[in-house]
Amino acid sequence: MTENHPEPPDLSLIVLSWENLALTTACVDSLRRNTDVDYELIVVDNGSTDGSREFARDVADIAVTNADNLGFAAGMNSGLRVASGRYVAFINNDTRFPSAWASQVLETFEIHEDVGIVAPAVTAAGNPVTVRDAPGRDRIALTPFGELPSGVVYVMPAELINGLGGWNEDYQTASAEDLDLAFTVWAHGYSIVLDERVLIEHESQASVRKLPDPKALYRENLEQFLDRWESTPLGSTPLVGSIDPETFKANQEHARTAVIWIRRMLEAREEARESAARLEPGSKPKKRRYWLISRT
């Protein structure tokens, strides 16, 4: 978008950056070249010191320049507050987009009823659910509370994400907020669809690698996510859409059951790791892989 809209654009693109100017530049360039619907580009900079702040002001339709690194959730929410599109795309800055990606994603909302999130396929992510080597042909409704989508790019109806109050800012810096949002969308009776036709190139962990002790952060945020969803009801979660309270309550119970099994699975993996280490004297136990932290 390069001119003022008499009406809201179809799509608000929110690109969150923290350092990594070269990656942000490539991301923005691909969006400008390949976004084939009416859109506005919002670049949120989280206190970068490498020229990313100035770049955001130069290239964005709307630039949000935060003085400090607010973290992923708060950074995205600062972009959401100024977005005017009917749909909102939340975008990691270490991504590059193919031609006609936007029209395909928005088409998925038109074809599938009650879609809360469309997640394009990605070339790399910590969670393999949405990873593909090449574009596919299918749109796949992911199993609620089971197949957790990588949060590299989430596209959502603006009305829904605003109704939910945006991203949950209780999580530190980055990780697990994407899982929390996915669970919240499912709890409200919406589906999450993987659109394999759109394949996003993803650098993976470009920003996370710059954080101090990201593995410890992953562990702490994952425990926070599990604790939150193991407790019902979620009194702080607003009820949005047409879902009735009883169905909402039942969905929360499904979520609680899912995290109980996730916790048991992680505990079993840890026990197996420690047992293997005892059987091999002198060997060092392998470090835990928290693959559920899917956004990076």
Q: What is the mean pLDDT of residues 136-155?
A: 95
The pLDDT score that the predictor gives to residue 113 is 85
Q: How many structural domains compose the chain?
A: 1
Predicted confidence (pLDDT) at residue 7 exceeds the cutoff of 60: yes
Cα–Cα distances (Å) from 270 to 10, 136, 256, in that order, read 46, 35, 21
Question: pLDDT class for 157, splitting at 50, 70, 90?
Answer: very high
Question: pLDDT class for 174, splitting at 50, 70, 90?
Answer: low
The pLDDT score that the predictor gives to residue 53 is 96
pTM of the model: 0.88
CA distance 88 to 164: 14
CA distance 15 to 79: 8
Residues 183-224 pLDDT 10s: 999 999 999 999 999 999 998 654 555 555 567 778 888 999
Question: pLDDT class for 59, splitting at 50, 70, 90?
Answer: very high
Residues 71-100 pLDDT 10s: 999 999 999 999 999 999 999 999 999 999
Range of the domain at 17: 1-296
Please give the helix or strand (H or E) that residue 5 lies within, else none: none
Cα–Cα distances (Å) from 272 to 128, 142, 287, 289, in that order, read 22, 29, 12, 13
Sign of the dihedral defined by the CA atoms of residues 81, 197, 129, 256, in that order: positive
The pLDDT score that the predictor gives to residue 4 is 55
Give the list of residues 6+ apart from residue 63 with CB closer than 8 angstroms, or none. Answer: 42, 43, 45, 56, 57
Predicted confidence (pLDDT) at residue 276 exceeds the cutoff of 80: no
CATH number of the domain bearing residue 108: 3.90.550.10
